Amino acid sequence: MTSSSPPGPSMPDPLARPSMFAERFAEALSRSHRSMSWLQHRLVSSGYRVSLSTLSYWRSGRRQPEHQESLEALGEVERLLALDPGFLRDAIGPPRRPGPPTPTIAFDDLIARPDPLVEEALSRLGLGDWTTHFTELSSHVIVEVDEHGSERAVTIRAVLRGRSPHAQRYPFFLFAGETMHGPVEFLPQTGCRVGREIKDHAQGLFVAEVILDKALGPGDTAFIEVSVILAPQRFSGYQQFVARRIAELVIMVQFHPDRLPVSIHSFQHADGHSSTLPYDRAAGTSAHLVLRAFGPGTAGLTWTWSEG
């Protein structure tokens, strides 16, 4: 599960019909009876930095592996899905972006090249230029996992600073990277209300217009809190997208005492560097990550459940 205030405007990649690679990948994933969440977690556990959104792009044909980091991960994907070596890699077509090769980026493609679905949703809400109106100073995220291992709620508390007169409408989104079943509800808690919403269960994309209680002027600040209530669906990690450098990012996952993971790892991707660290289980029923002066990039926590 991923969440963020969305990235700033950029040019979307051209849409294309599903490639041979996308068709092979989608078919192999379906035959394996495994979810993309499972695959992404296994990749992270093996040291490969591939996000749910990237896997979703590969499956749909909106992206294909091109950077060296992605190509290296592809061999592990083939192994995890019990495919012959080269089955997926041999199906990759020519690069879709003209010009010289793009340098490997150290954070998720959703930040560098926002998905057309995200850009369309922001445009429909009239929020495509949100970065000219706000700076996010801090973001504290609380993820609640129930006794069945399902992420049931995500609460984000953010401090915003105005950058222009009358800044009042702020976007918020969740991106699951796969089909979401059941209702998803945005609940304003403090300092705001929720306006228009776009909910695309098939793509796992949910965008809300958050309206501050009071419009901000340049330099003014506001504290807001929004919760998202989710239908039961099991994931094995949470990551936060940060479109611009943020003074403080805190991510905390609260597990049910009757359903604790067997291992937890924290990870971060920013400034051309990546790191993954094991988390001390002695911390009890929760795990957290604190980052200062972070971004743009992605950061989060992943966990492993027992097979029983």
**The pLDDT of residue 97:** 40
Q: What percent helix, strand, coil does the chain show, rounded to 5?
A: 20, 40, 40
Strand-by-strand arrangement of the 286-294 sheet: 184-190, 221-230, 151-162, 134-145, 246-255, 286-294
CA-based angle 123:97:80, to the nearest 5? 95
Provide the b/e sequence for 156-176 (b: ≥16 CB within 10 Å): bbbbbbbbeeebbbbbbbbbb
Write down all domains in the chain, each with its CATH number in brackets: 20-95 (1.10.260), 111-304 (2.60.40)
pLDDT computed for residue 14 by the predictor: 30
List the chain residues with pLDDT less than 50.
Answer: 5-17, 96-113
Predicted local confidence at residue 37, as pLDDT: 73
C-alpha to C-alpha distance for 37 and 176, rounded to whole angstroms: 9
Closest Cα partner for 300 from 244, 259, 229, 241?
241
pLDDT on residue 243 = 76
pLDDT at 308: 54
